[in-house]
Amino acid sequence: MRAAVFHGDRRISIADVPPPEAACGEVVLRVARTALCGSDAKLWLRGAEHTPGHEIFGVVDRPGHALHGRRSLVYIPVHCGRCASCAAGDTHLCLAESTLVGWNRPGGYAERLSVPAQCLLPVPDDVPDDLAPLLLDTIGTSAHGIRMARPLVPAGDVLVTGAGPIGLGAIIALRHFGYERVWVSDPRESRVRFATELGATPHPVGELSRRFKLVVESSGSHAARNQGLEVVLPKGVVLLLGENDAPWTIEEKKPIRRKDFWMLRSFYFPKGDFADNVELLRRYRDEYARLVDAKFGIDAFPEAFARFAAGQLVKPLLAFD
């Protein structure tokens, strides 16, 4: 089969590699779409041991198996189903497993992959192939974080820092959950314009004069994180959705030190959220569809990923038709 190989130093090649074989409890998935994710830029720079790609949609390809032919998404956290976290429904926080599909084992920038059967999320027939991957990071991650924050701050002004796919997905979800006044900051003017078309109000990057009850930090930028700690109101929430591997230093200034507030870190989503996430996609289908701004085959993948990493594309899809 054909697969993308991340060599590091911004180099990707397309190679012929052996097809996967399903281990016990696993099935082979024929990949139809894999959405590109900004977190994979780390692998683009430093190289990857396994085939990356973790926003995967495809069809089970295992004749004779009960799941053969099922349209499915790949839920990337491999989970035991038995530990205290899994028993509580927090399948993304499994205490016994730490493997993520597309990170610690082969992912979806390839024609096929083998996945544990428990990591398949069945996709309803009314969800088109091109929108199915949005149910993972773009909808699942952003909506889960907002669900965590809602009991603490059910209303009030919101600032979203970072208007990439997670931030734009958060803006749509915030509107759904009743947050009427949402501001957005991003150094890229095109992304800010996109966010305003989704109902947000522009806010200058780094501006500290306005205060917010909820700050949704979607960029992973340390400067944006520190801004959130300063501008969040007392008894407000700073919700960290963006990722950054570099050490983060916090200077505990008076605006941070002299108030009570919550700082929440949210990772991915539990499988129990999936049905509600499908309803979000159904209700705001046209808005979510606008995020998918390119689709290409695997031969065009290296060039397309470079464009994506440069911020020229929002949520492009690798497509195997």
Average pLDDT for runs of 10 along the chain of length 321: 97 97 94 97 96 98 90 97 96 96 97 96 97 98 98 98 97 97 97 97 96 97 96 98 93 92 97 98 97 97 97 96 80
Q: Say what the pLDDT of residue 169 is.
A: 97
Q: Say what the pLDDT of residue 66 is.
A: 87
State in Å, rounded, how far the first CA of the chain is from the last one: 14
Locate the DSSP E strands across the chain: 2-8, 11-16, 26-35, 56-60, 71-74, 112-116, 120-122, 158-161, 182-185, 201-202, 212-217, 232-240, 261-265, 295-296, 317-319
Residues 207 and 247 in one domain: yes
Tell me the chain's radius of gyration from C-alpha atoms.
20
Helix (H) or strand (E) holding 231: helix 222-231
Q: Say what the pLDDT of residue 237 is.
A: 98
- Expressed as residue numbers, the domain containing 239 is 142-265
Residues 126 and 187 in one domain: no
Q: What is the pTM of this model?
A: 0.95
Residues 188 and 245 in one domain: yes
Q: Say what the pLDDT of residue 65 is.
A: 85
Residue 182 in tokens: 């949402």
60, β-bridge pairs: 29
What CATH code is carried by the domain that includes residue 71?
3.90.180.10
Q: Do 240 and 264 touch, CB atoms closer than 8 A?
A: yes
Q: Say what the pLDDT of residue 1 is.
A: 96
Residue 232 in tokens: 């969040």
Q: Say what the pLDDT of residue 64 is.
A: 84
272, β-bridge pairs: none
Residues 146 and 126 in one domain: no
Q: Which of 226, 247, 265 is the last residue of a domain?
A: 265
| Residue 250 main-chain phi, psi, to 5 deg | -110, 125
Tally of CB atoms within 10 A around 99? 14
DSSP class of residue 19 equals P
Residues 240 and 154 in one domain: yes
Q: Is residue 25 part of a domain?
A: yes
**Total residues found in the chain within this entry:** 321
Residues 159 and 125 in one domain: no
Tally of CB atoms within 10 A around 127? 18
**Total domains in the fold of the chain:** 2
267 burial level (CB within 10 Å; 0-12, 13-18, 19+) = middle
Helix (H) or strand (E) holding 30: strand 26-35
Q: Is residue 97 part of a domain?
A: yes
Residue 233 in tokens: 């109101």
Residues 120 and 11 in one domain: yes
Residues 160 and 251 in one domain: yes
Q: How far apart are alpha carbons 21 and 17 in whole angstroms?
A: 12
